[in-house]
Each structure stands twice: as structure tokens, then as C-alpha cells.
Amino acid sequence: MKKNYLMTPGPTPVPPDVLLEMAKPIIHHRTPQYQAIFKKVNEGLKTVFKTTNDICVFTSSGTGAMEASVANLLSPGDKAIVVQGGKFGERFGELCKAYGIEFIPIDVEWGKAVDPSEVKKALDKNKGVSAVYTTLSETSTGTVNDIKSIGAIVKDYDAALVVDAISGLGADDLQTDAWGVDMALSGSQKGLMIPPGLAFTAVSKKAWKKAEVSKLSKYYFSLKKYKKALEENDTPFTSAVSLFVGLQKSLEIILNEGLDNVLARHSKMAKAAREGVRALGLAIYSSSPSNAVTPVNVPAGIDGELLVKTMRDKYGVTVAGGQSELKGRIFRIAHLGFMENFDCIVAMSALEIVLTEMGYKLEPGRGVGAAEKIILEIPHR
């Protein structure tokens, strides 16, 4: 018998109560019953995003919200700044290119956070920039950026600040309004604890002004359509009804725990994971690690892809491998969403066993013990 544990930064585990809600008979999306659910979900999302702004919900992956942020904020001839410090930062650049938008890249060494002063330099050097694109938690490298400082800079310019918080929301603090984020983006299959299929964007007044005059082509991702539907507590196109029902329950779980407690839980699990792998003589890949996922350098002499495959296929513990240039060079242990202390312990134990089987010299229990020490030191909430 093998029990499976999902320890990836998306999809993440779904709470049983949420699964049960989604298993109920479906209702029609153009009814008062659905609109009541939509309204409650939207209010809950505002709490998690820490915003009073409108939140538009797309039936798509998080990339749909990323595309919407390009298609709705920009017009032909506009310029954008794109912080590229990983695979998903680069995706903003790819989207700009797809829409014919000139973008100024800020190339950041993978595993490092962008220096906010580089954003200011780029804004001062390139007059008339319409948008700045960056990430909260760069999932591919497990790196968190200083959005508060970036927001304090961008607010003094005409540019809108767009933040990919797809994996970061609920794990790393994001204060959308207080930090001057004009479009905060996220997805359903991460910290919000439901399956893939929904994408979200919180839209500020500054961003709405740009959306009103945007000349880029769009249809399904037109924010104007979503804004009009919001007045009726609805979406302009068919909603993913069962996902909304599940999201209503997952938001209830998050808000009952308390958002500050949720963030503290993620911080605690991240510290436990980091100290656990360090105790095994392994190095954290990122110099600014996110609380959503811990990126770990594969030790010399170990096949990184085989390590991830063995943990998953032999022991049922699924962690993420490296992406793009990091394939085989790192593995990523997530502690995101519906996860608790003992999930970290299971992942650490499986890692110790597989590394030992692959010939890496370690003292059994050393990583587990270091993780447990953090768990014991930080009070349970």
C-alpha cells in the first residue's frame, strides 16, 4: 500500500470539506443562488488580497490573468518594464511580445530578488512606461520579491504595477492596496486550496483608467465585460460553478483560521523545511526564499530528476523538480495551502530515505529533527 502526498507549488492538496462541496449537484450560473455564492466569494477574495478593489474572476489558469493584465492595460506603441528573474517573470515578457508591446527587461539572476532601485532606474531611463510587471513569489526559483518597496517607487509614476501573486497569495504577505499594487493576479490551485481552473485579478482605479483606453484586441479577457457583470454579482461568460462552490468553502476555512495565522503557518513550515534540508548539508537555491516553496540545490553526484521521480513513484511524496535551466539542478518542496507541520516532516523523511538510497551520506533523522525543532520552537496556532 502506498499513501500519496502532494507537496508541489500547484496544484496543491484540496481539503476534504471542499471536495465534498464540489461533489454536490451543480446549479445554474444565471440564478440568484449562484449570484449569492459569487458575492460571498468576491468578498472573501478581497480579504485575502487585502484590497477594496474590484476583483475579476476568469475561468482559466493563472496565465489567463497574466494575459488579461497585458491586453487590458496597454495599447499599441506602449512600453512596459518586465522583471525577469525566473520562468514566470519571463512569461510576462512573452505575453508582451505576443501582443506587440515593446518591453524593457530587468534581468535578475535566478534565485535572487530584484533590487527595487533597478525598477526606479528603468522608469527614469525609459519615459512614458505604461506598466511594470513583476512577481511576488517566483515559483520556478522559490524567490520572493520586495513588492512593498517596488510599489512605493511605482506609485510616483504613471505606470501601473502588476504583480503575479499566483503562488504567493496566502503564503507570502501581499498588501494590495497599502503597497500600491494596481493589478494583483492569482490562481485557484495554490494557496486558495481548490483545483486548477480559476484566475483572479484585483484591479485598482489607476488600472481601470488604463483599461478604459486600452486599444489592444481582446474578447474573453476584456475587463470591461467583467466590470459590467460584477454589478450583477456575475461573470460575463459561463462560470466554473463547482469551482466557485469549492472556493466559497476554502475561503471560509482560510478566514476561520485567520489570514494572519495562515501566513504565520506558511512561514513556520517554510522555516522547518529550510532548516531540515540545511541539516542534511544541502543548500537553499534562493537567497530570498518564499514561504510558498523551498528550492533546494541537488547535491553533487545525485541525479536530480531521478530523485524527484523516486520520491513520487516509490514513496508517494510528490515534490517539484526544476524548470527550464534549473531542470535536474534543483528540487522544490512546497508548503502551500492545505498543508501542516506533519506534511513537512513526511517530505523530509522521504527525502532522507531517497538520498540515502542514491548514495548520499547523511545521518538518518537529522533533517527531520531540525524541522521538528522549528515546529517545537514556534507555538502552534
User: Which phi and psi (to 5°) does residue 76 adopt?
Assistant: -55, 135
Residue ranges of alpha helices (H) inside the chain are 16-22, 32-49, 62-73, 87-98, 116-125, 147-154, 205-213, 223-230, 241-257, 259-279, 304-313, 341-357, 366-377
SS3 53: coil
Q: Give the model's pLDDT for residue 381.
A: 62
Contact 95, 270 (CB under 8 A): no
Phi, psi of 338 (to 5 degrees): -80, 70
- pLDDT of 1: 80
Q: What is the mean pLDDT of each run of 10 residues along the chain (381 residues)?
A: 94 98 96 97 98 97 98 98 97 98 97 98 97 98 98 98 98 98 98 98 98 98 97 94 98 98 97 98 98 98 98 98 96 98 97 98 97 89 62
Number of neighbouring beta carbons within 10 Å of residue 296: 28
Secondary structure (DSSP) of 241-309: HHHHHHHHHHHHHHHHH-HHHHHHHHHHHHHHHHHHHHHTT--BS-SSB-SSEEEEEPPTT--HHHHHH
pLDDT of residue 103: 97
How confident is the model at residue 379, as a pLDDT?
76
Q: Which domains does the chain have, with CATH numbers?
A: 5-10+258-377 (3.90.1150.10), 17-256 (3.40.640.10)
Q: Report yes or no: 12 and 336 within 8 Å, Cβ to Cβ.
A: yes
State the first-to-last Cα distance of the chain, in angstroms, to the nearest integer.
Answer: 33
Strand order in the sheet with 330-334: 293-297, 330-334, 320-321
Q: Which pLDDT belongs to residue 378?
A: 78
